[in-house]
Structure formats: C-alpha cells, structure tokens
Amino acid sequence: MMNLNNNVVKRYNPENIAKPVGNYSHVTKISRNAEMYVFSGQIGIDQNNDIPTDFNQQVTNTMNNIVAILSSQKLTPDHVIKINIWATEEIDWDHFYEIWDRVFGTTHPSMTIAYVKGLGLPELKIELDVWAAG
C-alpha cells in the first residue's frame, strides 16, 4: 500500500539519535486539527471467525483486519500513528516485515513491541494495538 503523505500525520527519524532498529519511525507528529482514533487490539481472526494456530497466518490476518477497520472509518494505513505489538512467541520478522511493508510502504508508523505470557484468549499469539489520526 502506498503512503498518501496526508497533511495530518508526519513521520521523522531525527539525525541526532540512532537509526530505528526496525521498520518504524521514531517520531510521529499529528496536526492540531486532527481527530484521534483508538482501535481495540486487532487479532488474527479471519472473516469466518476462525483463529488459525499458525503464528504467521495470525500476523497476516491481523494486518488485514487493521486495513479493514481503518477503511471502516475512511482511513488508510497512512493515518496510523502508532502500533503496539503484543506477541506470545518469537516474531518471524521476515514474514512480519513483508506484510508490514506491504501495508505501510516505506514510511512506517511508530512502534513498540513486547513479548507477553498470554493474551485475552489462549489461542491468540499476536495482537496489535492501533492508534490513528485523520
């Protein structure tokens, strides 16, 4: 997905600090007149209400769900300002970044990652907490 360079969200990586160690931006600035959107954590459930056992499939489904929920509010991934990632097992970064880059292009939102013992349902392996502005 291509970034629209909207006037609401600007992303930066200041030169006076270390470069990001992954595909994210250190700073995300929101214009004054923007509306904030906070979404419930998105999980790897599919359109048939099934949660696959495969971690990477949960990642793919979660990202698809993020695009869909943004669209429901007439937003795009370019409006995402921050994503918190909660995972119960090691992330396959090759797969994750393939999907991440497909959704966010080359200008990534700010990100925090945490490995946790469990999520809201025992079958969940990853959950993404999404904040957007539009």
CB within 8 Å of 90: residues ≥ 6 apart: 115
Domain 35-133 CATH (choose: 1.10.4000.10, 3.40.50.10490, 3.10.180.10, 3.30.1330.40): 3.30.1330.40
Task: Look at 75 and 7; give whichever has higher pLDDT.
Answer: 75
Instruction: Give yes or no for residue 1 having a pLDDT over 60.
Output: no
pTM of the model: 0.86
3-state secondary structure of 86: strand
pLDDT at 2: 39
Q: What pLDDT score was predicted for residue 70?
A: 97
Instruction: Using a pLDDT cut of 90, give the percent of the chain over it.
Output: 76
Q: Is the pLDDT of residue 4 over 80?
A: no
Which one is predicted more confidently, 25 or 110? 110
Rounded to the nearest integer, the mean pLDDT of the chain is: 92
